[in-house]
Homo-oligomer: A and B are copies of this chain.
């Protein structure tokens, strides 16, 4: 994925205007501000992440004029009125298919598959892109699509009509029929009535022993990853948005929805049809009643219910008036 490229070429290719006096350094990747590597470009548009900017290893950062004062001297500034849009263009340059759901059409033939994956049981009509890694004792259903860069552990059971993309599935995971894992997140920007789709280059990571029900959708992260902790059980028709992190041994009943970038602790139980807003922190051992609408952070060990969700005691009291 790493290409030998220089800053000026990249900005030119992306139609991003820049001051010609900025140094034309090598840039090999677009990355999160916090990445630990060399020669990458990033962006900054939210003072909340100021601490990350201050210690960032980025070589160049796309940034609006008003925040330029925060930029460390060693980082090259690329001034922009729409830093996230321009960064989307750069991501798209490095990962040209990352705002699509499309397959690569670079798949193995049935013969190659049976040779390469000797010990895997496949149903009929499987589609595997090159580069997929699959462990031992794996059972795969019919009409399954597994896209490049997916990694599947041992003792995994994948149902029929499942689509896997940008996903790492650890041992003993079951994914039931019809679920879509690793789809691009729901990200876009309207600029003057024109819509720009935001690339999603993160992954979905499903840790050991998890279960994902039928007809669920788990979106991959935008830049970071969407993560499901060990032994977490998810029922049918559940939506997990991009960048969500769920802890260990959680239980999500059917039709639950979790919006983007929310963090959920360990041993959390979420009743059917409950919804959790984006960018929240839900503590460990929290219990959320069915159909609740959670719009605030929740501390460890709390039991909540209602819309908006409040303590279970209050919910009962309010409804017995």
Interface residues of A (CB under 8 A from B): 100-103, 105, 107, 121, 123-125, 127, 139, 141-143, 145, 157, 159-161, 163, 174, 176-178, 180, 183-184, 186, 188, 190, 193-195, 197, 209, 211, 213-217, 219, 231, 233, 235-237, 239, 241, 249, 253-255, 257, 259, 272-273, 275, 277, 290-291, 293, 295, 306-308, 319
The residue that A257 contacts in the complex, of B127, B157, B273, B306, with Cβ under 8 A, is B273
The answer on a CB contact under 8 Å between A163 and B163 is no
Instruction: Please name all residues of chain B whose beta carbon is closer than 8 Å to the beta carbon of A139 when the two chains form the complex.
Output: 100, 102-103
> Please, which residues of chain B bring their CB within 8 A of the CB of A178?
161, 163, 178, 180, 215, 217
Contact B125 A236 (CB under 8 A): no
Further contacts, 7 of them, CB under 8 A, given A180-B215, A215-B217, A275-B291: A124-B125, A124-B127, A143-B145, A174-B197, A178-B217, A215-B237, A217-B237
User: Which residues in B have their C-beta under 8 angstroms from that of A121?
Assistant: 105
- Which residues on the B side are within 8 Å of A233 (C-beta)? 186, 188, 195
Cα A88 to Cα B315 in complex, Å, equals 36
Instruction: Give chain B residues whose Cβ lies under 8 Å from the Cβ of A105.
Output: 121, 123
Which of these, B160, B184, B209, B211, contacts A163 with CB under 8 Å? B160
Q: How far is the CA of A195 from the CA of B172 in the complex (A)?
A: 11
Given A161-B178, A215-B217, check contact A190 B231 (CB 8 Å). Answer: yes
B-chain residues with CB within 8 Å of residue A157 when the two chains form the complex? 100-102
Q: Is B217 touching A217 in the complex (CB atoms < 8 A)?
A: no
Complex copy number for this chain? 3
- Name the residue on B nearest A219 (C-beta): B236
Look across to chain B and name the residue whose beta carbon is closest to the beta carbon of A194.
B231
Q: Which residues of B contact A186 (CB under 8 A)?
A: 213, 233, 235-236, 253-254
Check A123–B103 contact: CB distance below 8 A.
Answer: yes
The answer to whether A102 and B159 touch across the interface, beta carbons within 8 angstroms, is yes
Min C-beta distance of A194 to chain B, whole Å: 8
Q: With A107-B124, A159-B163, A291-B275 known to touch, is A174 a contact of B100 (CB < 8 Å)? A: yes
Chain B residues contacting A259 (CB-CB under 8 Å) are 253-254, 272, 290
Best-buried of A100, A178, A233 by chain B (most CB within 10 Å):
A178
B290 touches A293 (CB 8 A): yes
Q: Which residues of B contact A295 (CB under 8 A)?
A: 290
Q: Give the shortest distance, in Å, between A210 (CB) and chain B (any CB).
A: 9
Q: List 12 A-B contacts (CB under 8 A).
A: A101-B176, A124-B127, A159-B163, A161-B163, A183-B214, A186-B236, A219-B236, A237-B237, A237-B239, A275-B291, A290-B295, A308-B319
CB of A94 to closest CB in B, whole Å: 19
CB within 8 Å for A290 and B319 given contacts A177-B180, A195-B231, A211-B188? no
CA distance A236 to B101 in the complex (A): 13
Q: Would you list the 4 A-B pairs with minimal beta carbon distance, nearest first?
A: A217-B236, A291-B293, A180-B214, A239-B254
Cβ A275 vs Cβ B290 within 8 A: yes
Chain B nearest CB: distance from A220 CB in Å? 12
